Structure 1
Amino acid sequence: MSQADHEADQHAPDHHGAEDYDADLPAHVERALAGFLREAGEPILDVEPTFGHAVEALTGFVLGGGKRLRPTFAWWGWRGAGGASRGTDARAVVRAVASLELIQACALIHDDLIDSSDSRRGSPTVHVAFAKRHADAGWLGQPAAFGQAASVLIGDLALAWAEDMFAGTPLPAATLDAARPAWRAMRTEVLAGQYLDVHTQATGDASAEAALRIDRLKTAAYTVARPLHLGAALAGAGPELTGGLLAFGGDLGVAFQLRDDLLGVFGDPSVTGKPAGDDLREGKRTLLLALGLELAAGQGSEAEHATVAAAVGDAGLTEDRVEQVRRALTAVGAVDAVERRIEELTTSALAALRAADPAAPAVDELVALAARATRRTY
């Protein structure tokens, strides 16, 4: 769908509230994002057209792909707490939950810079693209420094606009205020998780405990638990339902991250959007690697331990050596151990969901989302 189509759809009538937002929710989120990005960008472009490069980059990044998982979990939190699927409130909630994609854009743009990643979704990362813009134009200074500065600012713009989009949602002030604790906690937790991630890489903490602490903050809270909390709070959920959704989201979010860790080593780049082995090159201390090192040491498998240890943080890691790491992790049982942990966490998450007893059809939809987020695809 073109940008023009996005904008046209954003302003299409919703038949006086008859539209059912349960149907093709990602498309509704996409239209809300396209409309907001156009509206947010126009005033600053009138003042400073040069900033159009940044606005265009952010718009392309946000609308250029993504699973829309966070808005989807938030929507089903809203529906599970009794929120309607139709009407003006439902339309407004779509806008509110769509703002999560701008926080995600900020996180990814900054994450790519922190990790020195060259590509995402088959395209150059923001800092790489702006470094190339500088080099191609023959500007003064270092292209890499310009690319780094641009990516920081564009990520900051995404975070600022996330707040604008959420705060500007046409819902009663009391409704938005009820969701503020979830909104604030989510933003703080993802930054704490990101800091813990880089701290762990810097200190070399390869323990399973450290890996799981990062997973709880950086992924589980931010991707599943807090979005569910946010949506449920918008619908006025009580503490019992909120607690159940947070328990479900916490365990499911960790299971989702563990699946992502496996895909980072074993996955198809055309599916994951990043080169296979990038987590190894970046030195990420995942549970998969922690268990691989622990199991290899416990079994006296010196060759496998050395293979895995040497790969972590090696920016020049070749595909052949990634394959050696795959074989080593499989041989010592780390892959099977992570698969078992995913199964255990998914089971406990679903038990918490059913105990919370959210309104229909949220249970079935969240069960389906859990299956999608944790299924084996390598």
Structure 2
Amino acid sequence: MMKFGTKAIHAGIEPDPTTGAIMTPIYQTSTYVQPSPGQHKGYEYSRTQNPTRDALQNNLAALENAKHGLCFASGLAATDAVLKLLKPGDEVLASNDLYGGTYRIFTKIYQDFGIKFKFVDMRDLNRISEHFSDKIKMVWAETPSNPMMNIIDIKGLAGVCKKFGSMFCVDNTFATPYLQNPLDQGADVVVHSVTKYLAGHSDVVMGCLMTNSDVLQEKLAFIQNSSGAVTGPMDCFLALRGIKTLHIRMQRHCENGRRVAHFLKSHPKVEEVHWPGFEEHRNHDIAKKQMKDFGGMISFVLKDDKLDDAIKVMESLKLFALAESLGGVESLCGHPASMTHAAIPREERLKAGLKDSLIRLSVGIEDVEDLIADLEKALG
């Protein structure tokens, strides 16, 4: 079996049969010529199939040790496709610390179609069963979570979901397949915002789903084609190019993240640092067991928890650009309460520990000494 770095470069990729080109061609076409009605070479219309997208889907499936991969126009389009598996009256159990866009599509769109969402703390596996009922058809979890870096026991929760007959979906965007593989731990569907670490260069918007279930693959492929939220061939090409260095980039993200987390933890103006690599981080032992390393995502709160102080720090940073998104080669900082998680009511955010002054860092692959110097100067 190929190791991860080899799969990132070679899995699902074949030289172009016509020219021998080693890079997957960009099949920039909407339709395909048929010699006779209904007789084609597997391709009819690019919403349904495209060779560049097929190569990417096969590559992504291999990285997650999955049988099937499906790509969509964004991470939320991928999430939308999964939710279309549900029916009115169904209930979804979701982690209470999750991406604001996911919370928004749950509560502002699908809730109006008669689907109920329950948001709970999933870190304590011993108490999770009390939230289940025969109406819970799907469980949705992020680990590490956005932005509190909470860790959920994937294998343990998968066992509970199986017991109650609930589909288990894991958003693996923060960890990437390089750090953990939820399908191997019992998840039914893995969700990624390819926009982030997978593409890795802040030049693509895309989402994907992976599964080992032939039944789910058939249903999701039908939704992908019928709803039409597919990604274009140029973006697929860029994602394939980005994935070729995923393992190298993630190594550096992890190395830099470790250094930055420890710097922040020791800084006199910092009150809290959320990073699963700390031994005192809740469920650190689980993270250590189910992840290869702890990633480059960090969030922190200043002493006195003053919003004005946090804004001043973010505005003073130079290398950490103040911007939405994460997972690119460049370092970014963000203010979840007003940016990525603005859709979540303040009371709900605070219950999950997401304070108004919390700063989220996506630690890039620059020289870490420069990143620490940037933080040191901004913190003052």
Instruction: State the TM bucket, normalised to the shorter chain.
Output: under 0.3
Higher helix share: 1
TM-score (norm 2): 0.24
TM-score w.r.t. length of structure 1: 0.24
